[in-house]
Each structure stands twice: as C-alpha cells, then as structure tokens.
Amino acid sequence: MRRLHAAFRPRFAAKALAGAAVAVACHTGDKAPEVHVSDPAPGSALLSATLPALVPASRPRVLVRTVAVGSVARRYLLVVPAHVDPARKYPIVLFFHGDGGDGTGMQRNVPFESASGDSAIVAYPDGIGRTWDLETTHDNRDIAFVEALLTDVEHDFTIDRTQVFATGYSSGGFFANVLACQRSSMLRAIGSNAGGAPYHQLETWPNQFPKCPGEAPVAAIALHGDNDMGVTLDSGRFTAEYWAYIDGCTMTEMETTAYPECRAYKGCKPGKDVVFCKVPGLNHWVWDKAAKVTYEFFRREGMTP
C-alpha cells in the first residue's frame, strides 16, 4: 500500500501532473497571495488537539459488501460499531484508496475508525481497476457508485444524510475533491491526503479556478507531506487555496492551530472552514496523525460524536 503498483504508476503520474498543471495555470502571471499568519483568539482554535481518539468500546464489525451500479457489481468494505444503537442516526465517512490499492488495504493501513471509534460508520470503497474516475463530468461511474453505496448502507443501518464526509489518499484524495465539486450538497466536509483539487471541469470560477455546475462551498482539510515526490506539496497547498476561495475565506489570512503542521484560513463562511497541514519529512503517504486530525476537523464541521 505504501508504494503504487508498478502497472498504475504511469496513469497516476499523468493524473498528478494534470492536477499540478491546474495549480500552476491558475497562478500564471498572478502571484499567489501572500498569507499573514496569526494566533487565534484564546480558546477559539479550529483544531485544539483536545479531542481524544474514540477507541471503540469493542472490536467493530468489518463487512464486505457489494452493490449493483448499472450492470456492474461494486465492492466496498463497511466498518460499523459492534453494537449499533437502532435509535441513532450515524454519520458516515467515505475513505477512498490511492491508485493500485483497494478498500481493504486502506482500512488495514489507515483505519479511520481508530479515531472516530463507535461514533461513525466508515466505508472503504474499491475503485474499478484500482483507480478513480477524476475527469468524467457527466454520469461519472464512481459518483454513481457513491450514491448507490449510501442507499445500500441505508438498507441495514440508519445514517444521517446531513453528515456524509469523504476523505482519501493520493488519487482517492483527488476523488474526494471531485465528489465535493460535483456533488457539493451530498457532503458536509472532505479531507485530502497527498491529493489535489478538481481539474478539467465544465466551468470556471471568476478567478479561473475549475468549477462544477451547481458547485457550492464545502469544508475541507488538506494534508500533505513536504517531501512528497509523487504529488508535490503545491498540489496540497492549492487544494486548500481552492476551497478557501469557494468557501469565502480571507485568502491572505490564516491562523495557527494546536498542531504546528496545520493552519486554518480566517473569515470562512460558517461551517465551511478550510485547513492546510504541511507535514515535515512526509513523503507520498498518509500522516500518522491524519485520522485524528481529520476526525477532529469533521467534528468541528458538525459530525455528531
């Protein structure tokens, strides 16, 4: 899981370059705004590091499920609390793997439930050919999969459709961004690990950032290693900048958080915060604090504990 399968490296490299090209193109002839960083008001830090990881009361159930999407059976891993409260609506987190991986490997290597405990249901979908469709703007097969997956989960568990969150690693991080772009109303917030913002979409924002029809603000946290040679740091930085623009944040002002690696944009619309975490020494992988930090961010954006 830590290395891309050789058969997928050329395709992944093309995706990464395409995403990076968008970031460069959006700043061609226009310097990125200089950002002033300040300390937050006492007790108001977006990420406070005070939330403990919610260790499950008992070992969660890991279910292998399939759902039909058209004529194709799509597979996903579903992690649910060992004892589900039938009276409760659960938040759900979608965690998308990187190119060459699968949901099983993502859950084994980076179990989001290690942070969320029994408070949420977590799904780890499998991409077709171990990858994700980042460029189809109409009838995207993977977005159709996500919609079918949520409906399938509802057959057996009660989920809160106002608390759907998505995160991903590498191409899965790119896909979480594409999902937020094309289905903004579906998601409460997203996380992106070593990923990038949407590209090759149908419209553009006034500042020439890519835009999806009907796209609306979505809270976002982008986490990226400064030693990432697979998808460079600029891609992660641009992801945060992209959502900061859409979410109405003050593009030139950020504040520190309890995590030295993470800074939050100031002035964002309520419930549409944006955070960028630059992780020293991390290569093309997921930060070991990513699950906890992302869970804390999701909690801040409305996830019920």
Residues in Cβ contact with 230 at an 8 Å cutoff, skipping those fewer than 6 apart: 4, 12, 16, 170, 194, 283, 284
| pLDDT band at residue 7 using 50, 70 and 90 as cut-offs | very low
pLDDT surpassing 50 at residue 8 = no
Q: pLDDT value at position 41?
A: 64
Q: Name 190's Cβ contacts closer than 8 Å, sequence gap at least 6.
A: 165, 166, 167, 176, 177, 179, 180, 218, 219, 220, 221
CA 171/CA 183 separation, integer angstroms: 18
pLDDT in tens, 215-268: 999 999 999 999 999 999 999 999 999 999 999 999 999 999 999 999 999 999
* pLDDT of 298 strictly over 50: yes
CATH code of 248's domain: 3.40.50.1820
Interatomic CA distance for residues 193 and 224, integer angstroms: 6
Count other Cβ atoms within 10 Å, centred on residue 37: 11
- CA neighbor of 73 nearest in space, from 31, 125, 114, 27: 125
Does 11 fall in a domain? no
Range scoring the smallest mean pLDDT among 23-37, 72-86, 194-208? 23-37
Indicate the residue type of 52.
Answer: P
**Residue 224 sits in which domain range?**
60-257+271-300
Residue 37, domain member (yes or no) = no
Q: How many domains does the chain have?
A: 1
Question: Rounded mean pLDDT of 99-118?
Answer: 96
Q: What is the pLDDT of residue 18?
A: 60
Q: How confident is the model at residue 29 (pLDDT cuts 50, 70, 90)?
A: very low
Cα distance between residue 277 and residue 262, in whole Å: 4
Q: Give the pLDDT confidence of 123-162 residue by residue, as tens digits.
A: 999 999 999 999 999 999 999 999 999 999 999 999 999 9
Mean pLDDT, residues 297-305 taken together: 93
Domain-located, residue 10? no
Q: Say if 41 falls within a structural domain.
A: no
Written as one letter, the residue type at 165 is F
What is residue 47's predicted lDDT score, i.e. its pLDDT?
80
> 250-256 and 36-38: which strand pairing?
parallel
Task: Check whether 3 has a pLDDT greater than 70.
Answer: no
Question: What per-residue confidence (pLDDT) applies to 50?
Answer: 66
Beta bridge partners of 253: 36
Give strand ranges (E) for the chain.
Answer: 36-38, 61-69, 72-80, 90-96, 121-125, 159-169, 189-193, 203-204, 210-211, 219-225, 250-256, 262-266, 274-279
| Band of residue 108 on the pLDDT scale cut at 50, 70, 90 | very high
Q: What three-state secondary structure class fits 251?
A: strand
Report if residue 290 sits inside a domain.
Answer: yes
- Cα→Cα distances 60→53, 103, 113, 116, Å: 15, 16, 9, 11
Q: At 95, phi and psi to the nearest 5?
A: -120, 115
Residue 116 lies in a domain: yes
Q: Residues 83-105: what's their mean pLDDT?
A: 96
Tens-place pLDDT, residues 158-217: 999 999 999 999 999 999 999 999 999 999 999 999 999 999 999 999 999 999 999 999
**What confidence score (pLDDT) does residue 92 get?**
98
Q: Is residue 7 part of a domain?
A: no
Query: Are 121 and 93 spatial neighbours (Cβ–Cβ below 8 Å)?
Result: yes
Residue 57: its pLDDT value, please? 64
Domain annotation covers residue 196 = yes
